């Protein structure tokens, strides 16, 4: 991994590591403006997969016969391709189809959301001082480009995303050092009247020093120090292979509890540290994946070198990656979605070059213009699909969708690319065999929340000397100042009196030791019960609690909040100890993504790998299915980085 002594290498963990306040009333300044703006990225309040944008899909899930019986208003045109889902996979699939069809084609993309990009969503703000700030509401960064397939490199190049420029031009690697905010806060939440405590871990602070400042009891402190500095061999007499096999069969929580025998407070300290990557806490992440993620406890374990085949796709990527975590547009992978949009509908994303992807405005009025070869229709929820005859012989497919006005419509297409989620596909049609529907239902997506808070200044962070907060206990899993990235006219703050975005994240799982799929389902139900006011309360509770002593006044400093709800978030990745068939057995995603008749299946779900590069790989595979004569570039054939590229072939 690159980096210098002054500016150490940047990893994703830098962003994951991140006085109880009685909050009487919501913050007037942060009041939601959902629907008030015609421009979806500028809408604050609760955004993403909200009750409103999911309403049609849920109504159809609960009473599918209602739609079957109803008469749909037909769209007149016959499309060459209808794409369901305008996330990165759908946009990439539309681009590839157009590029490789060998003739001019008409393409219609339909998406249930109010913005294109799916998880790759942009959040925009204008501060009271008139500064425009752009943040990411979902899919954060292009992760580990060194492990991307030829297909992903080729597509990004085609649409003008130049990976090298991220490494040299936009990311201000010395920002935290220059401003003296290299430290990290650890916030011990408390429900008691005494409030929480922020412990500042300054750069270079030895564990003994900062652990002594925590409010943990003496035994817990001693155990935490032992874990961070000790090098015991906890499996003497076993080979490296046998050790790894044991670690794959136990959770990291069990590893800490049963082998290290740490105090329960130490378990609480690390409880959330695996969530950002694996979508589950330490109670459901294998100890082997925790090792890949750099969690402590393995220094004396003599585990050998290299990636282990029993690691999850994300674990393999973490272990193998040599890239710095800097491939980040201000709007995260929203920048990639915009690059794809520009390639498909140039008038909707004017300008040239990466800077204008970041600082330009998408023209939403141009997305669905009659007469254009490619049209993208938002707030259009697809609720049915049938070939016009036996799928093997039919010449057309009919899709039914509910448009933004609530009208049931139908559209005909010569071919269809389903770039929506697998569990949606399982309910979309009667044409699939039961075994495939079961395989599609295996993709229980991980629910997440990403919030952006516009602060009028970051004086309190400067006084505390930190750029991130790791909450221990409490609601959020992490909070951090946004990435110090400047592109075009979007300049990151360079003085503490300037406005800045703070990013907060929460993976909503049960945390009760059950298998990951069950935890995600339980988390989704819990997420549905929280309102914007609940999130706002918890945002203020954390920021005021942690930084109030350093001068932050939430009522004065918070100008706006956007909470992006991703009830259906990360694609489920196979992982030990739950999925014993991984990696050798028959993988559900392979059975699930099989196309039929004139239909192919894309989406990150089809790769069981929760990344933008997986979404692109799966779009490539699916378009190759639709266009068997074309020669598309090589995509990653297996969940996770290509086994050959990481020494597992
Ligand atoms: C909070 C969060 C952070 C992430 N961070 C990263 C990251 O840092 N790096 C990374 O590489 N990946 C990250 N990911 C993973 C992310 O899933 C991928 O990067 C990528 O955006 C997935 O694209 P997709 O097109 O496969 O799926 P999606 O983005 O989910 O797109 C599918 C689309 O289908 C639409 N749809 C579903 N059902 C219907 C229907 N019936 N009718 C019409 N439309 C429908 C949905 O509205 C959605 O827009 C993150 C994901 C989340 C949720």
Instruction: Produce one character per residue of 194-224: b if its CB has 16 or more CB atoms within 10 Å, e if not.
Output: ebbbbbbbeeeeebeebbeebebeeebbebb
Tens of pLDDT, residue by residue over 613-635, are: 999 999 999 999 999 999 999 99
Which protein residue's CA is at the shortest distance from atom 20 of ligand 1?
A: 612
Our separate counts of H helices and E strands in the chain read: 25, 17
How many CB atoms sit inside 10 A of residue 31's CB? 13
Which protein residue's CA is at the shortest distance from atom 31 of ligand 1?
A: 87
User: At 70, is the pLDDT very low, low, confident or very high (cuts 50, 70, 90)?
Assistant: confident
Which protein residue's CA is at the shortest distance from atom 35 of ligand 1?
A: 85
User: What are the angstrom distances between the C-alpha of 405 and each of 53, 358, 402, 412?
Assistant: 12, 31, 8, 20
102: tokens are 């060998």
Tens of pLDDT, residue by residue over 146-163, are: 999 999 999 999 999 999
Backbone angles phi, psi at 487, to 5 degrees: -140, 130
Torsion angle of the four alpha carbons 352, 355, 356, 362, in this order, in degrees rounded to the nearest 10: 130
- Give the ligand 1 atom nearest the CA of 89: 25
* 421 Cα to the center of ligand 1, angstroms: 8
Which protein residue's CA is at the shortest distance from atom 9 of ligand 1?
A: 141
Please give the pLDDT value at position 32: 56
Tens of pLDDT, residue by residue over 164-174, are: 999 999 999 99
Asked if pLDDT for residue 15 goes beyond 50, the answer is no
Which protein residue's CA is at the shortest distance from atom 50 of ligand 1?
A: 139
The burial of 118, by beta-carbon neighbours within 10 Å (0-12 exposed, 13-18 middle, 19 or more buried), is given as buried
Please give the pLDDT value at position 55: 84
User: At 191, is the pLDDT very low, low, confident or very high (cuts 50, 70, 90)?
Assistant: low
Please give the pLDDT value at position 50: 86
User: At 121, is the pLDDT very low, low, confident or very high (cuts 50, 70, 90)?
Assistant: very high
- Give the ligand 1 atom nearest the CA of 618: 26
Q: Calculate what percentage of the chain has a pLDDT beyond 90.
A: 89
* 467 Cα to the center of ligand 1, angstroms: 28
For residues 189-217, give the mean pLDDT: 87
Residue position matching structure tokens 């609690």: 545
* 206 Cα to the center of ligand 1, angstroms: 40
* 319 Cα to the center of ligand 1, angstroms: 24
Which protein residue's CA is at the shortest distance from atom 5 of ligand 1?
A: 139
For residues 168-183, give the mean pLDDT: 97
Angle between helices 88-100 and 612-626 (to 10 degrees): 40
Please give the pLDDT value at position 28: 52
Contact 191, 552 (CB under 8 A): no
User: What are the angstrom distances between the C-alpha of 160 and each of 35, 200, 486?
Assistant: 32, 41, 18
HSE of 226, CA atoms in CB hemisphere, 13 A: 14
* 126 Cα to the center of ligand 1, angstroms: 26
Cβ-Cβ contacts under 8 Å for 404 (sequence gap 6 or more): 378, 379, 380
Please give the pLDDT value at position 10: 59
To test the ligand 1 pocket, which listed residue (141, 419, 420) has its Cβ within 8 A of the most ligand atoms? 420
State how beta strands 381-387 and 446-455 pair. Answer: unpaired
Does this model's pTM top 0.75? yes
Which protein residue's CA is at the shortest distance from atom 13 of ligand 1?
A: 139
Residue position matching structure tokens 């990344």: 611
User: At 11, is the pLDDT very low, low, confident or very high (cuts 50, 70, 90)?
Assistant: low
Tens of pLDDT, residue by residue over 18-43, are: 222 334 445 655 555 544 467 999 99
Which protein residue's CA is at the shortest distance from atom 41 of ligand 1?
A: 382
> What's the whole-number average pLDDT of the chain?
93
Query: Distance (Å, rounded) from C-alpha 88 to C-alpha 159?
Result: 12
Cβ-Cβ contacts under 8 Å for 235 (sequence gap 6 or more): 242, 243, 246, 259, 301
DSSP 251: B
Report the run of H or E that residue 125 belongs to, with start and end.
strand 122-126
Query: Distance (Å, rounded) from C-alpha 482 to C-alpha 504?
Result: 10
Tens of pLDDT, residue by residue over 526-556, are: 999 999 999 999 999 999 999 999 999 999 9
108: tokens are 């219609």
Tens of pLDDT, residue by residue over 483-515, are: 999 999 999 999 999 999 999 999 999 999 999
To test the ligand 1 pocket, which listed residue (119, 419, 476, 567) has its Cβ within 8 A of the most ligand atoms? 119
Largest CA distance in the chain: 73
Query: Distance (Å, rounded) from C-alpha 362 to C-alpha 344?
Result: 13
Contact 298, 501 (CB under 8 A): no
Please give the pLDDT value at position 22: 35
- 240 CA to centre of own chain: 33
Angle between helices 150-158 and 334-344 (to 10 degrees): 60
To test the ligand 1 pocket, which listed residue (13, 67, 85, 367) has its Cβ within 8 A of the most ligand atoms? 85
Please give the pLDDT value at position 33: 56
User: What are the angstrom distances between the C-alpha of 505 and each of 271, 283, 537?
Assistant: 15, 19, 14
Ligand 1 site: residues with CB under 6 angstroms?
57, 84-90, 110-113, 118-120, 138-141, 143, 333, 381-382, 419-421, 424, 448, 450, 566, 569-570, 603-604, 610-612, 615
170: tokens are 């936009």
Please give the pLDDT value at position 19: 27
Contact 283, 270 (CB under 8 A): no
């Amino acid at each position: 991994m690159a980096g210098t002594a002054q500016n150490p290498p940047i990893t994703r963990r830098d962003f994951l590591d991140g006085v109880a306040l009685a909050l009487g009333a919501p913050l007037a300044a942060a009041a939601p403006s959902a629907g008030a703006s015609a421009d979806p990225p500028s809408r604050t309040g609760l955004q993403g997969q909200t009750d409103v944008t999911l309403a049609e899909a849920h109504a159809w899930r609960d009473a599918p016969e209602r739609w079957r019986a109803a008469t749909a208003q037909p769209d007149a045109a016959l499309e060459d391709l209808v794409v369901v889902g305008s996330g990165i996979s759908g946009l990439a699939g539309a681009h590839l189809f157009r590029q490789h069809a060998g003739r001019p084609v008409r393409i219609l993309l339909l998406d249930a959301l109010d913005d294109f990009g799916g998880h790759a969503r942009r959040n925009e703000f204008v501060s009271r001082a008139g500064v425009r700030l752009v943040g990411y509401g979902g899919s954060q960064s292009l992760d580990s480009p060194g492990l991307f397939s030829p297909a992903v490199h080729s597509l990004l190049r085609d649409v003008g995303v130049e990976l090298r420029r991220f490494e040299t031009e936009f990311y201000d690697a010395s920002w935290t050092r220059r401003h003296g905010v290299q430290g990290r806060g650890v916030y011990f939440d408390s429900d008691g009247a005494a409030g929480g405590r922020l412990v500042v871990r300054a750069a270079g602070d030895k564990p003994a020093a900062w652990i002594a400042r925590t409010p943990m009891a003496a035994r817990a402190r001693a155990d935490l120090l032992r874990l961070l500095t000790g090098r015991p061999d906890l499996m003497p007499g076993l080979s490296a292979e046998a050790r790894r096999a044991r670690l794959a069969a136990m959770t990291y929580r069990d590893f800490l509890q049963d082998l290290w025998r740490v105090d329960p407070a130490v378990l609480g300290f690390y409880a959330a540290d695996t969530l950002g990557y694996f979508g589950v806490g330490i109670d459901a992440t294998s100890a082997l994946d925790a090792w890949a993620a750099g969690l402590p406890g393995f220094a004396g374990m003599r585990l050998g070198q290299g990636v282990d085949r029993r690691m999850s796709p994300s674990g393999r990527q973490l272990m193998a990656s040599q890239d710095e975590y800097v491939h980040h547009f201000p709007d995260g992978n929203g920048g990639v979605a915009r690059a794809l949009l520009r390639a498909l509908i140039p008038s909707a994303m004017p300008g040239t070059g990466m800077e204008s992807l970041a600082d330009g405005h998408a023209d939403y009025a141009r997305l669905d213009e009659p007469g254009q070869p490619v049209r993208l229709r938002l707030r259009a929820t697809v609720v049915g699909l049938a070939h016009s005859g036996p799928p093997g012989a039919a010449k057309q497919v009919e899709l039914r969708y509910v448009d933004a006005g609530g009208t049931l419509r139908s559209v005909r297409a010569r071919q269809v690319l389903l770039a929506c989620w697998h569990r949606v596909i399982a309910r979309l049609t009667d044409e699939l065999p039961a075994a495939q529907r079961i395989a599609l239902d295996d993709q229980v997506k991980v629910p997440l929340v990403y919030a952006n808070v516009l602060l009028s200044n970051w004086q309190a962070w400067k006084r505390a000397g930190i750029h991130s907060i790791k909450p221990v206990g409490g609601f959020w899993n992490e909070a951090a100042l946004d990435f110090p990235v400047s592109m075009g006219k979007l300049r990151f703050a360079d003085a503490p009196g300037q406005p800045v975005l703070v990013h907060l994240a929460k993976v909503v799982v049960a945390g009760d030791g059950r298998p990951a799929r069950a935890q995600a389902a339980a988390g989704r139900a819990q997420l549905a019960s929280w309102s914007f006011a609940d999130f706002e309360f918890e945002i203020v509770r954390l920021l005021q609690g942690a930084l109030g002593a350093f001068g932050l006044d939430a009522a004065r400093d918070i100008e706006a909040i956007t909470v992006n709800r991703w009830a259906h978030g990360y694609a489920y990745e196979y992982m030990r100890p739950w999925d014993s068939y991984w990696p050798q057995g028959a993988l559900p995603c392979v059975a699930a993504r099989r196309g039929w008749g004139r239909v192919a299946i894309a989406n990150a779900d089809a790769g069981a790998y929760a990344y933008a590069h997986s979404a692109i790989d799966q779009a490539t595979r699916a378009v190759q299915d639709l266009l068997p004569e074309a020669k598309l570039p090589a995509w990653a054939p297996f969940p996770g980085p290509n086994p050959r590229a990481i020494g597992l072939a």
